[in-house]
Chain A
Amino acid sequence: MILARHADALLWAGRYLERAENTARCLTYAADSIIQLRSDEARFDGEKLVRTLGLESELAEAGSLESSPQLVAFLLSDRDNAGSLVSSVVALRENLRSVRDRIPIELWEEANGLYLRFPFLGHAQAESRGLHEVLLMVRRACLAMSGVLNEGMRRDEGHAFVVIGRMLERATFTVALLRSDLPGAGNGADAVRMLRLTSSLQAYHRQRRRDPDPFDVMQYLMHAPDLPRSVLSCVGRAEECLKGLGSVGPALTRSRRRAGVLRVRLELGETVEGMEAEPAQTLDALAAEFDDLALEVQSGLVPPLEMTAVRSQYVRPGAAGVAAGVWPVGTRDRPR
Chain B
Amino acid sequence: MADPSPETGLLDGYRPVDAFDEAFDADGSARHGYRHIVERFSGLDAAELKRLQRLVNEEFRRQGITFTVYSEEEGTERIWPMDLFPRLIAAAEWDELARGLSQRIEALNLFLADVYVGGGEALSDGVVPRWLVVSSGGFERNAMGIRMPHGTHCCIAGIDVVRGADGRYRVLEDNLRNPSGISYVVENRAAMAKVCNWLFYDHPVEPANHYGQMLRSTLESMAPAAADAPQVVVLTPGIFNSAYFEHAFLARSMGVELVEGRDLVVDGHRVYARTIEGLVEVNVIYRRIDDDFLDPVSFRADSTLGVPGLLGALRAGTVTVCNALGNGVADDKAVYPYVPDLIRYYLGVEPIIDNVATYRMWDLDHRRQALSRLDELVVKPVGASGGYGVLIGPHATADELEEAKAKIEAEPREWIVQELVALSTLPSFAEERLEPRHLDLRPFVLTGAQTQVFPGGLTRVAMRRGSLIVNSSQGGGSKDTWVLKPELAAVGHAEGELR
Contact = CB atoms under 8 A, between A and B. Distances in A.
Interface in A285-321: 300-301, 303-304, 307, 310-311, 313-315, 319-321
Interface in A59-79: none
Nearest to B259: A3
Contacts of A102: 251-252, 257-258
Contact of B302 (A1, A108, A320): A320
Interface residues of B, number: 41
B276 A4 contact: yes
B276 A321 contact: no
Contacts of A1: 257, 273, 275, 277, 280
Contacts of B75: 123
Given A97-B239, A123-B75, A315-B296, A301 B260 contact: no
Interface stretch (B58-66, B349-357, B437-445, B469-477): B58-66
B74 interface: yes
User: Considering the complex of A and B, which 7 residue pairs feature the smallest CB-CB distances, nearest first?
Assistant: A325-B262, A314-B308, A101-B251, A101-B252, A324-B304, A101-B248, A101-B258
Interface string B238-249: 110000100111
Contacts of A97: 64, 239, 244, 248
Interface stretch (A42-50, A131-139, A244-252): A244-252
Nearest to A300: B276
Interface stretch (A109-117, A214-222, A230-238, A274-282): A109-117
Residue in B244, B258, B273, B280 with the greatest tally of chain A CB atoms within 10 Å: B258
A113 B62 contact: yes
A316 to B, nearest CB: 8
A249 B302 contact: no
B276 A252 contact: yes
Contacts of B259: 3
Given A315-B308, A321-B296, A324-B304, A4 B63 contact: no
A321 B301 CA distance: 8
19 contacts: A1-B275, A2-B275, A3-B257, A3-B259, A3-B263, A4-B275, A5-B274, A97-B244, A98-B238, A100-B248, A101-B247, A109-B63, A116-B61, A248-B277, A303-B274, A310-B265, A314-B308, A324-B261, A325-B274
B63 A301 contact: no
B266 interface: yes
A58 interface: no
A117 B249 CA distance: 24
Interface in B266-284: 266-267, 273-280
* Interface bin, chain A: 35 or more
A319 B301 contact: yes
Contacts, number: 110
A304 B278 contact: yes
Contacts of B261: 324-325
B275 A3 contact: yes
Given A301-B276, A307-B265, A321-B296, 7 more contacts: A1-B257, A1-B275, A97-B248, A101-B257, A102-B258, A109-B63, A123-B75
Contacts of B257: 1, 3, 6, 101-102
Interface string B415-428: 00000000000000
A335 interface: no
B230 to A, nearest CB: 13
A116 B62 contact: yes
A108 B64 contact: yes
A248 B274 CA distance: 12
Contacts of A6: 257
Nearest to B231: A1
B62 A325 contact: no
Interface string A158-198: 00000000000000000000000000000000000000000
A122 B74 contact: yes
A100 B252 contact: yes
Nearest to A95: B239
B285 to A, nearest CB: 14
Contacts of B302: 320-321
Contacts of A300: 276
A251 to B, nearest CB: 10
A105 interface: yes
Contacts of B33: none
Contact of A245 (B63, B251, B276, B279): B276
A4 B272 CA distance: 12
A249 B265 contact: no
Given A101-B251, A112-B63, A5 B263 contact: yes
A100 B64 contact: yes
B276 A307 contact: no
Nearest to B272: A307
B266 A310 contact: yes
Interface string A90-132: 0000100110111001001100110010000011000000000
A7 interface: yes
Nearest to A108: B64
Nearest to A252: B276
A161 to B, nearest CB: 8
Nearest to B260: A5
A21 interface: no
B297 interface: yes
B309 interface: yes
A247 B277 contact: yes
A103 to B, nearest CB: 9
A275 to B, nearest CB: 35
Contact of B309 (A303, A307, A314): A314
A112 B302 CA distance: 33
B301 A249 contact: no
A239 interface: no
A303 B272 CA distance: 12
Contact of B276 (A2, A98, A315): A2
Nearest to B277: A247
A109 B61 CA distance: 9
A6 to B, nearest CB: 7
Contacts of A2: 275-276
A279 B267 CA distance: 52
Contacts of A303: 262, 265, 274
A18 interface: no
Residue in A1, A97, A100, A304 with the greatest tally of chain B CB atoms within 10 Å: A100
